[in-house]
Amino acid sequence: EHLVNRIAAGEVVERPASALKELVENSIDAGAKRISVSLSEGGLSSIDVVDDGCGMAPGEIALALERHATSKLPDDAIEAVTTLGFRGEALPSIGSVADLTIESRVRGADGWHRRVDHGDLVGEGPAALPPGTRIRVSNLFAKVPARRKFLRSARAEYAACVDVIKRLAMARPDIGFTLEHEGRRVILVAPDEQRVDRVAALTDRDLADNSVAVDFRREAVSLTGVAGLPTFNRGVADHQFLFVNGRPVKDRLLIGAVRGAYQDMLARDRHPVIALFVDLPGDQVDVNVHPAKTEVRFRDPGLVRGMIVGGLRAALDEAGH
């Protein structure tokens, strides 16, 4: 069982940023309104995630650490899943390759904690915390040399963690996020922000005055978001944030379509600042090609590409570009 979890861990959590993504997605699924993250050494040393979501009863904490024990599958209907997670693999996987403590409290009940160290239960008992969940992951892959050696520097891991939080925070402007690294606050966004303000806060404060709103619909597909004006281009390619059905993705088709839309409007080697949300019926897209869920497969790639190019051009034209 430990071995199975450890092998799965290689798929689900390959580095601190992927563990962090799983933890924060769980907080989002739990209905949290505020999520606070603190990292040490880019998450290599520790990752703490605190949320004010629904919490878990003691029995649910134990279950959460068991493989394929998800609370999120509605009667075996995968298509009906509306949560970010549903495989029930993340927590047992992380617990098999790290020192993992879960503290949780359901509103109106007492808190409880459970700690596993590389798959072994090492502690359990009452815990004092506000309603919600607090998870600490320490020494990820410390006892798994085969994986540890693939990890990059704390600096690189830190950058990947920042990227994860930015993307999730853009997808959910209704939720407040904080990120601290070595005790220093690096991201602070309040809940219930307008999308454009959230994206600007996480990319470039001047974006709000140098962008157009994208709001485009064709059949059952919608394209919304914030597109920086061509005159407001930045040299960096990492200000492009793409989402499919609310999930952050890094997809070649989408990146190519954005490039196509801006093609002759941008100077060479310049990149638009953009946060683009594609929403379409679940049967027209597979966002689970890979367990890390950053790639997508569209049933009609041509339609999606055409919409992005057409929708972006229309929005930019209207703004006089």
Asked if 19 interacts with Mg ion (CB under 5 A), we say no
Estimate the share of the chain in helix, then strand, then coil, as percent rounded to the nearest 5.
40, 30, 35
Please state the closest distance from residue 22 (CB atom) to Mg ion, in A: 5
Which residue has the closest beta carbon to Mg ion?
85
- For the bound state, the minimum distance from the C-beta of residue 92 to Mg ion, rounded and expressed in Å, comes to 11
Structure-derived torsion over alpha carbons of residues 114, 48, 89, 251, reported in degrees to the nearest 10:
170
Map the footprint of Mg ion across residues 66-85, applying CB under 5 A: 85
- Give the whole-angstrom CA distance, residue 174 versus residue 176: 7
- Residue 91's binding partner out of Mg ion, ligand ADP, none, with CB under 5 to 8 Å set by partner kind: ligand ADP
Minimum distance between the CB of residue 184 and ligand ADP, rounded to whole angstroms? 24
User: Measured from the CB atom, is 68 or 297 closer to Mg ion?
Assistant: 68
CA distance 27 to 12: 17
Choosing among Mg ion, ligand ADP, none, which partner's interface includes residue 165 (Cβ < 5 to 8 Å by kind)?
none
56 binding partner (options ligand ADP, Mg ion, none; Cβ < 5 to 8 Å by kind): ligand ADP
Query: Smallest distance, Å, CB 318 to ligand ADP?
Result: 41
Select 85 or 272, whichever has its Cβ closest to Mg ion: 85
Ranges within 80-109 binding ligand ADP (CB under 6 A) = 85-91
Please say whether the dihedral angle defined by the alpha carbons of residues 259, 265, 270 and 273, taken in this order, is positive or negative.
negative
- Work out how close the CB of 21 gets to ligand ADP at its nearest, in angstroms, rounded to a whole number: 10
The 262-281 contact track toward ligand ADP, x by CB under 6 A, reads --------------------
How many Cα atoms are found within 13 Å in the side-chain-facing hemisphere of 152?
9
Rounded distance between C-alpha atoms, residue 165 and residue 144, angstroms: 26
26 is an interface residue for Mg ion by CB under 5 A:
yes
Interacting partner of 53 out of Mg ion, ligand ADP, none (Cβ under 5 to 8 A depending on kind): ligand ADP
Closest Cα partner for 92 from 68, 58, 57, 59?
68
Assign 300 to helix, strand or coil.
Answer: coil
Longest dimension (CA), the chain: 63
Instruction: Give the footprint of Mg ion on residues 84-123 (CB under 5 A).
Output: 85, 90
Cα separation, 297 vs 286, whole angstroms: 5
Find the binding residues for ligand ADP in span 119-158 (CB under 6 A): 133
Nearer CB in complex with ligand ADP: 72/270:
72
Site track 44-73 with ligand ADP (rule: CB under 6 A), x = hit = -------x-xxxx-------x-----xxx-
Q: Is 5 in the site for ligand ADP (CB under 6 A)?
A: no
Residue 36 CB, nearest approach to ligand ADP (Å): 12
138-142 contacts, C-beta under 8 A, 24 or more apart = 138/45, 138/46, 138/98, 138/99, 138/100, 139/45, 139/46, 139/98, 139/99, 140/13, 140/15, 140/16, 140/19, 140/43, 140/44, 140/47, 140/94, 140/97, 140/98, 141/97, 141/98, 142/98, 142/99
Q: Which positions from 13 through 32 interact with ligand ADP, judged by CB under 6 A?
A: 22, 26-27, 30
